Structure 1
Amino acid sequence: MCFFNCAFVQRFLRICAGGKIINYKGCMPGILEEVLIAVEKRKPVYLLGGFGGITERICRYILTGKLPEELTQKWQINNCDEYSKLIKKYTDHSIFIDYSRIESVSMESLNNGLSEEENKRLFTTPFLEEIIYLISRGLRNLYPKAT
């Protein structure tokens, strides 16, 4: 789920945790799509991988450079009941689903004001106080005049 559904957050940054891996409604898991769009638009992205789901898979990819199967279209086709029908529908309307965009996601592309070590901690912690501290730290680093 992407947190903080308010105008500021929606316009300026993304905070993501959990997220469906299968049986979602779009052309790819929603959080994956949100992260890809935010990275392409150079918006700050905070990934809370300690809660599992597709967010944890994205964090794992960033940390290891190895693409988890769940972040591939092939895996989605083999594990989501209606996905093949969806692909056909998109293809019939000349819409291309590009899972290779995940390759643009890296520690640097998160653009969130956190160091590599701080991001690694954010990727794994289940503790709300630590999450709030790290996100606040990143925002202060990005927008020092706002504090």
Structure 2
Amino acid sequence: MGDLKLRPTNALDGLRLGISVSDSADLPMLGLHPHHAELALAEIARSVLLLSGRLVYGGRIKPPGYTQFLLSELERYGAHPDSLTLCLAAPEHETLTVKELKGLNNKLQTRGRVVCLSPSGLPMEMRSISELPEKQPSNSSSYSAMRQYLCENTDAQVILGGQLEQFQGSMPGVIEEAINSIKAEQPLYIVGGFGGAAALVAKTLEIDGFDWAPSNFPIQPDDKRIEDSLYELRSVADKSEASIRCSGLNELDLRKLSATHRPKEIASIIVNGLAAVHSNSH
């Protein structure tokens, strides 16, 4: 399943793919650079958009990063309404003025939209953002609420990279999104070849033992929050493996996806799985 099959341009019409991506501390030991992760993200986004799929991303505007990269891909390939939904957790949109938010929304035009979430994870009207009370719940709960919103408003999830230090929330976001997807029995695609939290998820779920990688891959800091999150991941997966089994991929493809860092191979495996899942649901 390594090659992308020829498919009609509406093969993923209406399918909403959540994407979770952030830098990984493991890139240097693999001889990789953050730009390599950007190339993989671009290939995934391009492949999904060209088949009329939709992208949903929980990101940040400041400092610049993967959000701006996705916006550039949207300008080139987003031909359908709401091709990209950019969700901002409360601590993220609170750093922006209403003028900046409206400018971002206008930049997306009809191809995308910005959803600003309250600390409890509810979509907010743009005019109410400046009227937020001064005292907010912790960042941890705000980010968790955003991740739950993302899960409830997507049909499948891709995780790639992911910080295991200085992460926002009570646990690494990529691990929390994997937990949410498995609980929801949502197709989950784990790109582990860039290390980080995604590789740790693949290792914990025994999709790949990473015998091909350095012995300390992925680097796991001594942090009880990570240990607790992995315990919850194992517990949830023991109760339901539907998230992995319903991905449209066989075990070989799941292992390939967890090991490769080749952008075209990553995108083709994911899109072939998504197309199989999407065709079965219609």
Give TM-score, length-normalised by structure 1: 0.70
Matched position secondary structure for 1:135 = helix
The equivalent residue for 1:117 is 252
Deviates more, 1:40-49 or 1:105-114: 105-114
Q: Could you list the per-position Cα deviations for residues 80-129 of structure 1 after superposition, in whole angstroms to 9, with x for gaps in the alignment?
A: xxx7xxxxxxxxxxxxx765321133765323110011000000010111
The equivalent residue for 2:232 is 101
* Separation in 2, partners of 1:61, 1:98: 11
Amino acid at match of 2:277: L
The alpha carbon displacement at 1:70 in A equals 3.7
More helix by share: 1
The equivalent residue for 1:20 is 163
C-alpha change, 1:100 and 1:69, in structure 2 (3 Å) is farther
* Separation in 2, partners of 1:48, 1:142: 18
- Structure 2 residue 276 is matched with structure 1 residue 141: yes
The equivalent residue for 2:223 is 76
- Structure 2 residue 263 is matched with structure 1 residue 128: yes
- Structure 2 residue 10 is matched with structure 1 residue 2: no
Give TM-score, length-normalised by structure 2: 0.39
More strand by share: 2
Amino acid at match of 2:166: N
C-alpha change, 1:115 and 1:13, in structure 2 (3 Å) is same
* Separation in 2, partners of 1:64, 1:121: 10
The equivalent residue for 2:173 is 30
Query: How many percent identity over aligned positions?
Result: 22
The runs of 5 or more residues in structure 2 that have no matched partner are 1-18, 22-54, 58-83, 86-149, 210-217
> Is contact 1:47–1:59 with CA below 8 Å preserved after alignment?
yes
C-alpha change, 1:108 and 1:43, in structure 2 (3 Å) is closer
What is the root-mean-square deviation in Å for CA atoms of aligned residues?
Answer: 3.2
The alpha carbon displacement at 1:35 in A equals 0.5
> Is contact 2:158–2:188 with CA below 8 Å preserved after alignment?
yes
* Separation in 2, partners of 1:132, 1:34: 20
C-alpha change, 1:65 and 1:115, in structure 2 (3 Å) is closer
> Is contact 2:204–2:230 with CA below 8 Å preserved after alignment?
no
* Separation in 1, partners of 2:219, 2:193: 19
Q: Could you list the per-position Cα deviations for residues 26-50 of structure 1 after superposition, in whole angstroms to 9, with x for gaps in the alignment?
A: 0000000001001101111111000
* Separation in 2, partners of 1:127, 1:69: 21
C-alpha change, 1:117 and 1:138, in structure 2 (3 Å) is same
Amino acid at match of 1:58: V
